[in-house]
Every structure is written in structure tokens, then in C-alpha cells.
């Protein structure tokens, strides 16, 4: 007499070999596809839709989870955390059967912002060589389509996950790709990059409601969320309205497992000064809330110098707000004043941008304590006669002029508040600033212009961020 197979074995057999054409109603978000990367060492949520009351079985790497679609058709299961590796197969069975192959487990990062994050590898420095060398089959990238929404959406258009190769990498986010390549080189695990970005967008549309509601300085936005997003003249959703891109592009992937986010944005909010700091707080806090991870890493790029026109100090106000955002726990900032193009708002050197973001992640998220991950950041000042001594954090191996020329873009002011060009010299881990015409100095500014490409850095080649000692 034949023994009956255990129920678990039967379930696995059914999931693996049931004919896919028998059913037609099961569906999942586009974030689930062949070649996907799942976040290692975190529980793995899988969700989708099916007719209400329908049993759903999900198989991942020999583990089976069962659930039933709710009254609204939504279902979700959660698998235990897994170590990096693969490939695995994800199979989902309800009234029909979905199968996703070549699934890896590794490190997943959200790559968001405006055009400098969306900027592709094909338009970056040494594009031909970079594309030809992009043979990294365990780096994967998914790109979301541009889609604003009035209400939180359940899905967003996407062609699915792509395996990194010379045939695919040209369209990857360049900053994300170079970031991910650095991580993989050091961590030796699969890397997943989620390209959720849109050129020219402000920060407000990317922010979830909770971010505005729990940031007191943004009460004017929070009080009007019920009336947003507004329509444009064509009767369509204005993609620049608060919530619009969170609803349409970010919400559909929550709670897909991610390690953290990298962010390159601010050009479209230029001129807001420290108000941008409040909006950064709202975005970061909001994303951490919706992913239920209060310590989710968030690493961002300080804007590069560019000839915006108008008030030459307007961009410096955004730099100041971005630097202030480092007060938010588990954040980091890649400074780019030395790799800019004053005539092009899209500098082509995305390699160093990605590498600098990766330094923060390797040091702060992955615990590599031997890495110098930041250039000098202003710490304090002390008046010494007719000079001001400026001290810095993150001096690394020491302060230097990156081009061997005298330090530039330092200005100094006395009681009259008039800033004049000053001499500056390295003195140990400090910089001494003075000018003979100011006998009693009170304040220093460094790189306080949209055209500033200052040469102060540490010996590791990471540039100092612009600052003013008389800041807000």
C-alpha cells in the first residue's frame, strides 16, 4: 500500500507543478518579478490581490506560507529573514499561479530624487567604458514609471528587475549604480537598486502624510493635505503637489524590504534656505514611519555648484539646510563642490557621487570603522586677535588644499557685517583666517556662493562643505 505524501510536500508539489493557465485572478505589484533582490536579514513580506476569500499559498526557497485574501482582496504573508544568496524561486498560487525565478537575497536600496538621481549611466563620464565593463550579474535594478496619484496607489508601472550587464546598465540610475557597485565590491553580496525618481521634482510630492503631520514647521502643508494634490490645467494630477509622488510611486512598494535610501534632490527647492531642512526632516521621518524602521539609513547628496543666476548666496542656503540635516540620526551627506560643472546642472561625474554615498553606508550601516567617509565639516570657531581659528570634524589624515594652491573661498567680516576675501592657512587640524583690513573679525564664511568650488579637503580627497559661522 502506498503511503500518502505529507501535506507540506503535497503543497510544495502543487505550487511547483500546477498548470499556470488554469486560473486568472491572482496579482502582485510590479516590484515582484524575475531577477528581484530581497533584503537579507529582515523579514520578507510578499503581498498581492485575489478574489475575496480565496486561499493563497506562497513558496520561497522550500518554505510555504498560507493565507486567505481579505474582503478587499488584499493578502500578505511574511517569510523569516534569510541570509544573502540565491538564486531562489518565488511561487504564488491562488486561482492562478505566478512564478518568479532567479530571485536573490542581498542589500536593497531605494534610489530617489530628481534628475541627478535619474541621470543614467549612458550620460555619465566614460559611459562607453562603464557600460562595457558592467558585468555584475548580482547587481539588479528596477525602474518605476513616472506616476503621480491623488490617493495611495497599489501599483506603479515598471518593466521589472533587470540584471546588470552591458546590455542593460545604460538606463540604470548612475548614482545608484556606482553606489551599488562600491557596496558589492566591499560586501560581496547581491545588490538591489530601486530607481524611484523623476527629474525636476520638488521634495514635497515624495513625502508621505505622516512626515508633514509630525513636522511642526510644516503645519501650513499638513493642514491642507485633504485638498491635495491639486489639479493642473489639463485636469490631471499636478505631480509637484505634496503627496503626489509618494502616493503614486513610493506607496506601491511599501513594505517591500529595503536597507535604506539614497537621495539626490534640492535643485527644484533652491532658494528656500533652512525651510528645506524642515522638509528633509519630514521626508526622512515619513519614510521611516511607513517602513516601520526609525533607524532606516538615509544618505543624500549635497547639491553641486551651478550658475543658477539671481542671488549668488541662494544655493548656499540649501547647502546649509542639507548640512543641518546631518543632525537627523542615521543620515550622511556626500559633498560635491569639487566635481561640479558650473555650466551644467547635471555634472557627468556620477562615479564619485556614488562612491561617496557608499563610504557613508560602508562606515555607518555596515560597520567598517577604518573608512574615512566624510570631508571636513565646520565644528567651531575661536577669535585670536585679528584672526579666526576654524575647527572641523572629519579631518581624516589632515587638512590640505586639493590642488596645491592657497586655500580659497574664505571671507571674513568685522562688526559691520561686510564680508571681504581673506587669506586662510592650515594650522594642524584647523584653518586660520584673516585679512589685514579687518582688525576685529567676528565671522567667517566658506564657499558661500553658488559659483564656489573651494579647494579645502582632507588628505583622503573628500572636500569640505560650505559653511558660515554666523548661521541661523
Domain with residue 145: its CATH number is: 3.40.50.1110
Work out the average pLDDT over 39-56.
Answer: 97
What is the structure's pLDDT at 226? 85
Domain contains 1 = no
pLDDT surpasses 60 at 45? yes
Work out the average pLDDT over 259-266.
Answer: 98
Domain contains 2 = no
Number of domains in the chain: 3
Among residues 71, 103, 135, the one where a domain terminates is: 103
Q: Do 193 and 335 belong to one domain?
A: yes
Nearest CA to 452 out of 393, 408, 401 is that of 408
Work out the average pLDDT over 424-430.
Answer: 97
Q: Do 192 and 247 belong to one domain?
A: yes
What is the structure's pLDDT at 182? 98
Q: Do 399 and 344 belong to one domain?
A: no
Q: How confident is the model at residue 353 (pLDDT cuts 50, 70, 90)?
A: very high
Q: Do 33 and 175 belong to one domain?
A: no
Q: Do 59 and 21 belong to one domain?
A: yes
Domain with residue 14: its CATH number is: 2.60.40.10
Domain contains 67 = yes
Q: Do 48 and 173 belong to one domain?
A: no
pLDDT surpasses 70 at 24? no
What is the structure's pLDDT at 230? 65
Buried b (16+ CB within 10 A) or exposed e, 409-442: bbbbbbeeeebeebebeeeeebbbbbbeebeebb
Domain contains 148 = yes
Q: What is the pLDDT of residues 306-345, one digit of tens each?
A: 999 999 999 999 999 999 999 999 999 999 999 999 999 9
Among residues 46, 70, 103, the one where a domain terminates is: 103
Q: How confident is the model at residue 5 (pLDDT cuts 50, 70, 90)?
A: very low
What is the structure's pLDDT at 20? 35
What is the structure's pLDDT at 237? 87
Predicted TM-score (pTM) of this structure = 0.94
pLDDT surpasses 70 at 284? yes
Q: 448 vs 32, 195, 375, 459, CA distance in Å?
A: 46, 32, 17, 23
Q: How many CB atoms lie within 10 A of CB 101?
A: 13
pLDDT surpasses 80 at 69? yes
Mean pLDDT over the full length of the chain: 94
Spell out where 283-344 has E strands: 298-301, 331-334
Q: What is the pLDDT of residues 409-420, one digit of tens each?
A: 999 999 999 999
Q: 69 vs 11, 73, 132, 228, 414, CA distance in Å?
A: 18, 5, 46, 31, 70
Among residues 365, 397, 426, the one where a domain terminates is: 365
Nearest CA to 447 out of 414, 416, 425, 469 is that of 469
Q: Do 133 and 114 belong to one domain?
A: yes
Work out the average pLDDT over 149-162.
Answer: 97
What is the structure's pLDDT at 229? 62
pLDDT surpasses 80 at 356? yes
Q: Do 234 and 347 belong to one domain?
A: yes
Q: Do 68 and 139 belong to one domain?
A: no
Q: Do 84 and 125 belong to one domain?
A: no
Q: Do 20 and 72 belong to one domain?
A: yes
Nearest CA to 27 out of 107, 126, 115, 93 is that of 93
Work out the average pLDDT over 150-172.
Answer: 97
Q: How confident is the model at residue 118 (pLDDT cuts 50, 70, 90)?
A: very high
Work out the average pLDDT over 350-377.
Answer: 98
Contacts of 83 (CB under 8 A, 6+ apart): 40, 41, 105
What is the structure's pLDDT at 8? 43
Q: Do 111 and 87 belong to one domain?
A: no
Buried b (16+ CB within 10 A) or exposed e, 219-231: eebbeeeeebbee
Domain contains 372 = no
Work out the average pLDDT over 145-170.
Answer: 97
Q: Which structural domain, as residue segments, surrounds residue 400?
A: 377-468
Helix (H, G, I), strand (E, B) or coil at 252: helix
Amino acid at each position: 500500500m502506498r503511503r500518502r505524501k505529507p501535506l507540506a510536500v503535497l503543497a510544495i508539489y502543487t505550487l511547483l507543478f500546477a498548470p499556470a493557465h488554469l486560473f486568472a485572478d491572482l496579482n502582485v505589484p510590479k516590484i515582484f518579478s524575475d531577477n528581484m533582490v530581497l533584503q537579507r536579514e529582515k523579514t520578507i513580506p510578499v503581498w498581492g490581490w485575489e478574489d475575496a476569500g480565496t486561499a493563497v499559498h506562497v513558496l520561497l526557497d522550500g518554505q510555504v506560507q498560507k493565507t486567505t485574501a481579505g474582503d478587499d482582496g488584499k493578502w500578505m504573508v511574511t517569510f523569516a529573514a534569510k541570509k544573502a544568496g540565491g538564486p531562489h524561486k518565488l511561487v504564488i498560487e491562488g486561482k492562478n499561479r505566478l512564478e518568479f525565478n532567479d530571485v536573490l537575497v542581498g542589500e536593497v536600496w531605494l534610489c530617489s530624487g530628481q534628475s541627478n538621481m535619474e541621470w543614467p549611466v549612458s550620460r555619465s563620464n566614460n559611459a562607453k567604458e562603464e557600460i562595457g565593463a558592467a558585468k555584475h550579474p548580482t547587481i539588479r535594478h528596477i525602474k518605476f514609471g513616472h506616476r503621480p496619484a491623488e490617493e495611495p496607489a497599489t501599483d506603479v508601472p515598471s518593466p521589472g528587475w533587470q540584471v546588470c550587464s552591458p546590455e542593460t546598465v545604460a538606463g540604470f540610475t548612475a548614482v545608484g549604480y556606482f553606489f551599488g557597485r562600491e557596496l558589492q565590491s566591499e560586501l560581496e553580496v547581491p545588490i538591489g537598486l530601486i530607481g524611484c525618481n523623476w527629474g525636476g521634482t520638488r521634495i514635497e510630492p515624495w513625502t508621505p502624510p505622516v512626515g508633514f503631520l509630525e513636522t511642526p514647521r510644516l503645519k501650513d502643508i499638513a493642514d491642507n493635505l485633504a485638498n491635495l494634490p491639486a489639479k493642473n490645467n489639463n485636469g490631471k494630477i499636478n505631480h509637484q503637489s505634496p503627496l503626489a509622488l509618494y502616493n503614486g510611486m513610493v506607496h506601491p512598494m511599501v513594505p517591500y524590504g529595503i536597507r535604506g535610501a539614497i537621495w539626490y534632490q534640492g535643485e527644484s527647492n533652491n532658494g528656500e534656505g533652512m525651510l528645506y531642512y524642515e522638509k528633509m526632516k519630514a521626508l526622512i521621518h515619513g519614510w521611516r514611519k511607513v517602513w516601520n524602521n526609525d533607524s532606516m539609513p538615509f544618505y543624500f547628496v549635497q547639491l553641486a555648484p551651478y550658475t543658477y543666476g539671481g542671488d549668488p548666496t541662494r544655493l548656499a542656503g540649501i547647502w546649509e539646510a542639507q548640512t543641518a540635516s546631518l543632525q537627523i540620526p542615521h543620515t550622511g551627506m556626500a559633498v560635491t563642490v569639487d566635481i561640479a560643472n558650473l555650466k551644467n546642472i547635471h555634472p557627468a561625474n556620477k562615479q564619485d557621487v556614488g562612491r561617496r554615498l557608499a563610504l557613508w553606508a560602508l562606515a555607518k550601516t555596515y560597520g567598517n570603522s577604518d573608512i574615512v567617509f566624510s570631508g571636513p565639516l565646520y565644528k567651531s570657531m575661536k577669535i585670536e586677535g585679528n584672526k579666526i581659528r576654524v575647527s572641523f570634524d572629519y579631518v581624516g589624515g589632515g587638512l590640505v588644499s586639493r590642488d596645491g594652491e592657497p586655500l580659497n573661498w574664505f571671507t571674513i567680516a568685522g562688526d559691520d557685517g561686510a564680508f571681504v576675501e581673506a587669506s586662510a592657512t592650515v594650522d594642524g587640524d584647523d584653518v586660520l583666517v584673516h585679512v589685514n583690513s579687518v582688525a576685529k573679525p567676528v565671522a567667517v564664511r566658506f564657499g558661500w556662493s553658488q559659483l564656489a568650488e573651494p579647494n579645502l579637503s582632507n588628505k583622503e580627497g573628500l572636500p569640505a562643505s560650505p559653511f558660515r559661522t554666523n548661521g541661523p
